[in-house]
């Protein structure tokens, strides 16, 4: 397998730094550069020990011109992604995206742009193998249980809520069930919003607090029993096998691939 040159967008963030370390440890990849307007001109080796003595580019266009990557990995924000992804795709650079919180409309635009540019992209709400198994198991159980709830907790700096993982879980559960879950309405609230959001009968609650990386619990209820499916992230390194898998496979795909399902089935 030929070596893959990787550019990391969001290089100064916690996920960006973790991705850079993982790429450097992979035997079939080379970290060629990073992009982050907040760390422009900072050397990569100042962000991650052992990284190249290359200055972080201020934007994706500059990064692509300077580093000539095969694949760009993006962990930024929805606002930044609206510029980063079209720039990379129009320059025929395959993309792996872990940014969450963008709209369905933007997702459709990205899909159309992938087709238009004939350049593939993988967008996954969660790159953890365990989290993807959690979503799979929750979907399989949805046809057999009448009540459902999702409780997700993330670190205090996460900007979007609920998480992309929670929304993807809701979508998979509803699609597998083919109908809404049962949902009893509360008549009197002592605290407004205490039951969280609700989609298709699925209660969804989001928690943001220090001491948490990324956790999600799916609760399914039926007569006399409750099924709990829980995924707990203790470190960001759990996302790296999925990210590296996507980097290796994205150029073999066509158009936009959402989620890791297709990639995991082929491994």
Q: What is the mean pLDDT of residues 72-80?
A: 92
Catalytic sites, residue numbers: 154, 158
For 44-82, b where at least 16 C-beta lie within 10 A, e where not — what string?
Answer: beebbeebbebbbbebbbebbeebebbbbbbbbbeebbb
Distant-in-sequence, close-in-space partners of 59: CB < 8 Å, separation ≥ 6: 35, 37, 83, 87
**Each residue's pLDDT tens digit, 199-217:** 999 999 999 999 999 999 9
**Each residue's pLDDT tens digit, 161-205:** 899 899 999 999 999 999 999 988 877 777 878 778 999 999 999
Q: Token pair of 59, please?
A: 């934007």
**Each residue's pLDDT tens digit, 44-55:** 999 999 999 999
Q: Given pLDDT bands bounded at 50, 70 and 90, which one contains residue 267? A: low
* CA dihedral angle for residue 39, residue 44, residue 48, residue 50, rounded to 10 degrees: -170
**Each residue's pLDDT tens digit, 17-38:** 999 999 999 999 999 999 999 9
DSSP 200-236: TTEEEEEEE-TT-SEEEEEEEEETTEEEEEEEEE--G
Check residue 188 and give its pLDDT. Answer: 79
- Give CA–CA dist 216/206, Å, rounded: 9
How high does pLDDT run on average in the chain? 93
Report how far Cα 165 is from the mean position of its chain's Cα atoms.
7
Domain annotation for the chain: domains and CATH numbers = 4-123+236-265 (3.40.50.720), 129-233 (3.30.360.10)
Check residue 152 and give its pLDDT. Answer: 97
Q: Given pLDDT bands bounded at 50, 70 and 90, which one contains residue 103? A: confident
Please say if the pLDDT value at position 135 is more than 60: yes
From 68, 82, 84, 92, select the one nearest 11 (Cα to Cα): 84
């Amino acid at each position: 397998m030929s070596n893959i040159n990787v550019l990391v967008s969001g290089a100064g963030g916690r996920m960006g730094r973790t991705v850079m370390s993982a790429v450097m440890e992979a035997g079939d990849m080379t970290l060629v550069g990073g992009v982050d307007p907040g760390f422009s001109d900072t050397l990569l080796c100042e962000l991650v020990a052992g990284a190249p003595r290359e200055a972080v580019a201020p934007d994706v266009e500059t990064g692509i011109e300077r580093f000539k990557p095969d694949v760009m990995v993006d962990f930024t924000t929805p606002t930044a992604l609206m510029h980063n992804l079209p720039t990379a795709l129009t320059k025929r650079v395959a993309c792996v995206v872990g940014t969450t919180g963008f709209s369905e409309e933007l997702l459709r635009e990205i899909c159309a742009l992938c087709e238009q540019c004939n350049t593939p992209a993988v967008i996954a709400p969660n790159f953890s193998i365990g989290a993807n198994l959690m979503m799979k198991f929750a979907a399989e159980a949805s046809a057999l249980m009448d009540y459902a709830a999702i409780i997700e907790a993330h670190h205090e700096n996460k900007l979007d809520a609920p998480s992309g993982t929670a929304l993807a879980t809701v979508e998979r559960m509803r699609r597998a069930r083919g109908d809404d879950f049962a949902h009893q309405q509360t008549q009197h609230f002592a605290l407004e919003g205490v039951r969280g959001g609700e989609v298709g009968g699925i209660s969804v609650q989001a928690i943001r607090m220090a001491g948490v990386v990324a956790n999600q619990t799916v609760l399914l209820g039926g007569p006399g029993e409750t099924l709990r499916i829980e995924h707990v992230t203790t470190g960001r390194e759990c996302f790296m096998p999925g990210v590296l898998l996507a980097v290796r496979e994205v150029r073999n795909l066509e158009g936009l691939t959402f989620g890791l399902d297709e990639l995991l089935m082929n491994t």
